[in-house]
Protein backbone atom coordinates (compact mmCIF):
# COMPACT_ATOMS: atom_id res chain seq x y z
CA UNK A 1 0.00 0.00 0.00
CA UNK A 2 2.86 2.36 0.86
CA UNK A 3 4.46 1.71 -2.55
CA UNK A 4 1.16 2.34 -4.33
CA UNK A 5 0.76 5.74 -2.61
CA UNK A 6 4.34 6.64 -3.48
CA UNK A 7 3.85 5.73 -7.17
CA UNK A 8 0.53 7.59 -7.27
CA UNK A 9 2.17 10.66 -5.72
CA UNK A 10 5.03 10.52 -8.22
CA UNK A 11 2.60 10.12 -11.11
CA UNK A 12 0.48 13.04 -9.90
CA UNK A 13 3.55 15.21 -9.48
CA UNK A 14 4.82 14.42 -12.97
CA UNK A 15 1.42 15.18 -14.53
CA UNK A 16 1.27 18.46 -12.60
CA UNK A 17 4.77 19.45 -13.71
CA UNK A 18 4.03 18.53 -17.32
CA UNK A 19 0.91 20.68 -17.30
CA UNK A 20 2.71 23.57 -15.63
CA UNK A 21 5.49 23.91 -18.19
CA UNK A 22 5.37 26.56 -20.88
CA UNK A 23 6.39 24.13 -23.64
CA UNK A 24 3.84 22.63 -25.98
CA UNK A 25 4.36 19.91 -28.49
CA UNK A 26 2.92 20.59 -31.90
CA UNK A 27 1.74 18.39 -34.72
CA UNK A 28 3.81 19.18 -37.81
CA UNK A 29 4.00 18.02 -41.39
CA UNK A 30 6.33 18.81 -44.30
CA UNK A 31 5.68 17.53 -47.82
CA UNK A 32 6.95 18.32 -51.29
CA UNK A 33 4.21 18.88 -53.88
CA UNK A 34 5.65 18.01 -57.31
CA UNK A 35 2.72 19.50 -59.21
CA UNK A 36 3.05 22.91 -57.53
CA UNK A 37 6.84 22.58 -57.10
CA UNK A 38 6.69 23.68 -53.49
CA UNK A 39 7.37 22.28 -50.05
CA UNK A 40 4.45 22.74 -47.67
CA UNK A 41 5.19 22.96 -43.95
CA UNK A 42 2.34 22.97 -41.43
CA UNK A 43 2.33 23.42 -37.67
CA UNK A 44 -1.17 22.57 -36.56
CA UNK A 45 -3.03 25.52 -34.98
CA UNK A 46 -0.13 27.94 -35.54
CA UNK A 47 0.32 28.25 -39.28
CA UNK A 48 1.66 26.96 -42.54
CA UNK A 49 4.01 28.07 -45.30
CA UNK A 50 4.82 26.98 -48.82
CA UNK A 51 8.49 27.14 -49.72
CA UNK A 52 9.01 27.51 -53.49
CA UNK A 53 10.87 24.48 -54.84
CA UNK A 54 11.98 21.28 -53.19
CA UNK A 55 13.35 21.55 -49.65
CA UNK A 56 14.60 18.73 -47.44
CA UNK A 57 13.47 18.81 -43.83
CA UNK A 58 16.55 18.91 -41.59
CA UNK A 59 17.09 19.46 -37.86
CA UNK A 60 14.73 21.12 -35.40
CA UNK A 61 15.81 23.59 -32.70
CA UNK A 62 13.66 23.01 -29.60
CA UNK A 63 14.65 26.31 -27.99
CA UNK A 64 13.76 28.61 -30.89
CA UNK A 65 11.19 26.17 -32.31
CA UNK A 66 12.79 26.49 -35.74
CA UNK A 67 12.46 23.81 -38.38
CA UNK A 68 15.38 23.93 -40.80
CA UNK A 69 15.20 23.07 -44.49
CA UNK A 70 17.92 22.65 -47.14
CA UNK A 71 17.53 22.85 -50.92
CA UNK A 72 19.66 21.29 -53.67
CA UNK A 73 21.80 24.46 -53.85
CA UNK A 74 22.72 24.00 -50.14
CA UNK A 75 20.75 27.06 -49.10
CA UNK A 76 19.36 26.69 -45.59
CA UNK A 77 16.16 28.33 -44.43
CA UNK A 78 14.25 28.00 -41.19
CA UNK A 79 10.63 28.46 -40.20
CA UNK A 80 9.37 29.04 -36.67
CA UNK A 81 5.77 29.46 -35.52
CA UNK A 82 4.64 30.59 -32.10
CA UNK A 83 2.01 32.66 -30.30
CA UNK A 84 2.73 36.35 -29.69
CA UNK A 85 2.48 35.94 -25.92
CA UNK A 86 5.06 33.14 -25.72
CA UNK A 87 8.09 35.39 -26.10
CA UNK A 88 10.16 36.48 -23.12
CA UNK A 89 9.57 40.19 -23.82
CA UNK A 90 5.80 39.78 -24.31
CA UNK A 91 4.55 37.18 -21.82
CA UNK A 92 1.77 39.53 -20.74
CA UNK A 93 0.60 39.94 -24.37
CA UNK A 94 1.13 43.71 -24.27
CA UNK A 95 2.38 43.91 -27.87
CA UNK A 96 0.16 42.84 -30.79
CA UNK A 97 0.22 43.30 -34.55
CA UNK A 98 2.70 45.89 -35.80
CA UNK A 99 3.72 46.79 -32.23
CA UNK A 100 4.68 43.15 -31.64
CA UNK A 101 6.77 42.99 -34.84
CA UNK A 102 8.68 46.13 -33.87
CA UNK A 103 9.20 44.93 -30.29
CA UNK A 104 10.40 41.54 -31.55
CA UNK A 105 13.02 43.16 -33.78
CA UNK A 106 14.27 45.35 -30.94
CA UNK A 107 14.46 42.35 -28.62
CA UNK A 108 16.24 40.22 -31.23
CA UNK A 109 18.76 42.93 -32.06
CA UNK A 110 19.57 43.16 -28.36
CA UNK A 111 20.48 39.45 -28.41
CA UNK A 112 23.00 39.77 -31.26
CA UNK A 113 26.43 40.28 -29.68
CA UNK A 114 29.10 41.97 -31.80
CA UNK A 115 26.87 41.89 -34.85
CA UNK A 116 25.43 44.65 -36.94
CA UNK A 117 21.86 44.74 -38.16
CA UNK A 118 20.05 46.49 -40.97
CA UNK A 119 16.36 47.02 -41.55
CA UNK A 120 15.53 45.99 -45.13
CA UNK A 121 11.72 46.10 -45.46
CA UNK A 122 8.84 47.26 -43.28
CA UNK A 123 5.19 46.52 -44.10
CA UNK A 124 2.80 47.92 -41.49
CA UNK A 125 -0.27 46.73 -43.42
CA UNK A 126 0.81 43.07 -43.46
CA UNK A 127 2.64 43.29 -40.08
CA UNK A 128 6.11 42.15 -41.12
CA UNK A 129 9.69 43.35 -41.07
CA UNK A 130 12.65 41.95 -42.96
CA UNK A 131 16.05 42.63 -41.45
CA UNK A 132 19.52 41.17 -41.56
CA UNK A 133 22.15 40.35 -38.97
CA UNK A 134 25.76 40.37 -40.11
CA UNK A 135 29.31 40.74 -38.91
CA UNK A 136 31.40 43.57 -40.25
CA UNK A 137 34.75 41.83 -40.57
CA UNK A 138 36.70 41.69 -43.82
CA UNK A 139 35.57 38.10 -44.32
CA UNK A 140 32.02 38.01 -42.95
CA UNK A 141 30.94 34.66 -41.55
CA UNK A 142 27.40 35.68 -40.72
CA UNK A 143 25.01 37.42 -43.08
CA UNK A 144 21.50 36.12 -42.41
CA UNK A 145 18.14 37.61 -43.37
CA UNK A 146 15.01 37.31 -41.24
CA UNK A 147 11.33 38.02 -41.68
CA UNK A 148 9.17 38.34 -38.60
CA UNK A 149 5.43 38.70 -39.02
CA UNK A 150 2.29 38.46 -36.92
CA UNK A 151 -1.25 37.53 -38.00
CA UNK A 152 -4.10 37.11 -35.50
CA UNK A 153 -1.70 36.42 -32.61
CA UNK A 154 0.33 33.84 -34.56
CA UNK A 155 3.96 34.71 -35.18
CA UNK A 156 6.14 33.44 -37.99
CA UNK A 157 9.89 33.90 -38.14
CA UNK A 158 11.59 32.95 -41.40
CA UNK A 159 15.33 33.05 -41.91
CA UNK A 160 17.83 32.46 -44.65
CA UNK A 161 21.24 31.46 -43.36
CA UNK A 162 24.47 32.90 -44.66
CA UNK A 163 24.87 32.15 -48.32
CA UNK A 164 26.96 33.69 -51.05
CA UNK A 165 24.52 32.33 -53.60
CA UNK A 166 21.67 34.83 -53.09
CA UNK A 167 21.86 38.60 -52.98
CA UNK A 168 19.88 40.56 -50.39
CA UNK A 169 17.34 41.33 -53.13
CA UNK A 170 16.87 37.61 -53.85
CA UNK A 171 16.56 36.84 -50.13
CA UNK A 172 13.91 39.55 -49.70
CA UNK A 173 11.99 38.27 -52.73
CA UNK A 174 12.05 34.72 -51.34
CA UNK A 175 10.97 35.74 -47.82
CA UNK A 176 8.11 37.88 -49.16
CA UNK A 177 6.95 35.06 -51.45
CA UNK A 178 6.70 32.72 -48.47
CA UNK A 179 4.96 35.18 -46.10
CA UNK A 180 2.71 37.21 -48.41
CA UNK A 181 0.05 35.09 -50.02
Q: How far is CA 76 from the centre of its chain?
A: 13
> Which 3 state secondary structure label does DSSP give 158?
strand
Predicted TM-score (pTM) of this structure? 0.82
Of the options 1.25.40, 2.60.40, 3.30.70, 3.40.1000, the CATH number for the domain spanning 26-179: 3.40.1000
Stretch among 5-9, 89-93, 142-146, 152-156 having the lowest mean pLDDT: 5-9
Q: How much of the chain, in percent, has pLDDT values that exceed 90?
A: 66
Q: How much of the chain, in percent, has pLDDT values that exceed 70?
A: 83
Higher per-residue confidence, 61 vs 3 = 61
Arithmetic mean of pLDDT, 67-71: 96
Angle CA 82–52–160, to nearest 5 = 55
Q: How far apart are CA 41 and CA 99, in angstroms?
A: 27
Average pLDDT of the chain is 84
Task: Identify the sign of the CA torsion 95, 98, 113, 161.
Answer: positive
> What's residue 139's pLDDT?
66
Is 50 exceeded by the pLDDT of residue 8? no
When pLDDT is cut at 50, 70 and 90, the band that residue 110 belongs to is confident
Q: How far apart are CA 124 and CA 145, in angstroms?
A: 19
Q: Where are the domains of the chain?
A: 26-179
Q: How far apart are CA 134 and CA 93, in angstroms?
A: 30
> What's residue 2's pLDDT?
41
Length of the chain: 181
When pLDDT is cut at 50, 70 and 90, the band that residue 25 belongs to is low
> What's residue 14's pLDDT?
30
Is 80 exceeded by the pLDDT of residue 81? yes
When pLDDT is cut at 50, 70 and 90, the band that residue 135 belongs to is confident
Q: How far apart are CA 153 and CA 85, in angstroms?
A: 8
Q: How far is CA 45 from the centre of its chain?
A: 15
Task: Provide CB contacts within 8 A for 57, sequence distance 6+.
Answer: 30, 41, 67, 68, 69
Is 60 exceeded by the pLDDT of residue 3? no
Task: Provide CB contacts within 8 A for 167, sequence distance 6+.
Answer: none
Amino acid sequence: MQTFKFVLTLLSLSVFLACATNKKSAVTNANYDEIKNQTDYIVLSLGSVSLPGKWEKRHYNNVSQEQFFLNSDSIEVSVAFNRFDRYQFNLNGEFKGWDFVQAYCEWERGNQYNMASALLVQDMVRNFIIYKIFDTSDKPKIDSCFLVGEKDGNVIVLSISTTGKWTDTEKIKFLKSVYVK
